[in-house]
Amino acid sequence: MTATSTVMAASARLVSRLALVTGGGSGIGRAVCRRLAAEGASVVVADVNQEAANETLHGLSRDRRGQGHMAAGVDVASRHSVRSLVTGIQCRYFQPPSVCVSAAGITQDAFLVRMEEEHFDKVIQVNLKGSFLVVQAVAEALVICGAPKGSIITVGSIVGKVGNIGQANYASSKAGVQGLTRAAAKELSRFGIRCNCVLPGFISTPMTEKVPEKVIGKMTSLVPVGRMGEPAEVADVCAFLASDDSAYITGASVEVTGGLFIG
């Protein structure tokens, strides 16, 4: 296969697939929406910030099957909101999403001894419980409709594996996301649904804009590749995991870190 035909094959991998991306209004989620749309998927851009979701929607390439993309507001921490979203998708497209990327997430950093209980709970609610609610609703819809296959991708973090100063809540939530994904992979394989988790390192997004420059400089110096990652580089991996090119991969955690914390 030539380089050109490889690119063309890759760019058509998701034609006729319907994809739901939470956190699609910003950063990694927005890049994932763009990449999945560029590969031919119809994309539902979902975010708590509906205006941001609409902005992402307007920047997407046209989908080739004519089903169209859509934007929707959702609070992933609310069961009612997630259920309404999935029902709304099924009403519009007459099918559940066969690709789901759960990228919505937040940070509320503080040193462990000073961390407010409510900040711990909030991060767990959005990052961990939110992932659970989204994975559960999409998996249930796929199983009920007898879909032949599905690919669910959660967004964890390398911090869930190695910990990080000031992020006891975030690290706990992201370690939980990895465990959730592995359990889901074991339960859902028999329905043709694969579940994988991406573990980004330090990626340039509005989330990391909040981190003091001094800390960013220190972290970047630890990255063997020598720079922060781009959201599109995480989206590349999500597109691979969404596609049949990863048909024999489930329950995996894929680090997208530029080599940070190897081993």
- Binding-site ranges for ligand NAP (CB under 6 A): 22-23, 25-29, 47-49, 52, 74-77, 103-106, 126, 130, 155, 157, 200, 202-203, 205-208
* CB of residue 34 to ligand NAP, shortest distance in Å: 13
Q: How far apart are CA 182 and CA 140, in angstroms?
A: 17
| Identity of the residue, 12 or 207, whose beta carbon is nearer to ligand NAP in the bound complex | 207
**In 200-227, which positions are buried (b, 16+ CB within 10 angstroms) versus exposed (e)?**
bbbbebebbeeeeeeeeeebbeebeeee
| N residues, the chain | 263
| Identity of the residue, 49 or 61, whose beta carbon is nearer to ligand NAP in the bound complex | 49
| Identity of the residue, 150 or 231, whose beta carbon is nearer to ligand NAP in the bound complex | 231
* CB of residue 43 to ligand NAP, shortest distance in Å: 15
**In 23-57, which positions are buried (b, 16+ CB within 10 angstroms) versus exposed (e)?**
bbbbbbbbbbbbbbbbbbbbbbbbbbeeebbbbbb
Catalytic option among 82, 98, 130, 170: 170
Number of other CB atoms surrounding residue 1 within 10 Å: 8
| Identity of the residue, 126 or 193, whose beta carbon is nearer to ligand NAP in the bound complex | 126
> In angstroms, what CA-CA distances link 252 with 40, 74, 103, 169?
25, 27, 16, 23
| Identity of the residue, 64 or 182, whose beta carbon is nearer to ligand NAP in the bound complex | 182
> In angstroms, what CA-CA distances link 118 with 80, 99, 110, 161?
21, 33, 12, 23
- Quick check: is 248 catalytic? no
**Which of 35, 56, 90 lies closest to 237, judged by CA?**
35
Q: How far apart are CA 228 and CA 236, in angstroms?
A: 16
* CB of residue 115 to ligand NAP, shortest distance in Å: 17
Using DSSP's 3-state secondary structure scheme, residue 164 falls into: coil
Rg (CA), the chain: 18
* CB of residue 151 to ligand NAP, shortest distance in Å: 18
Active site residues: 170
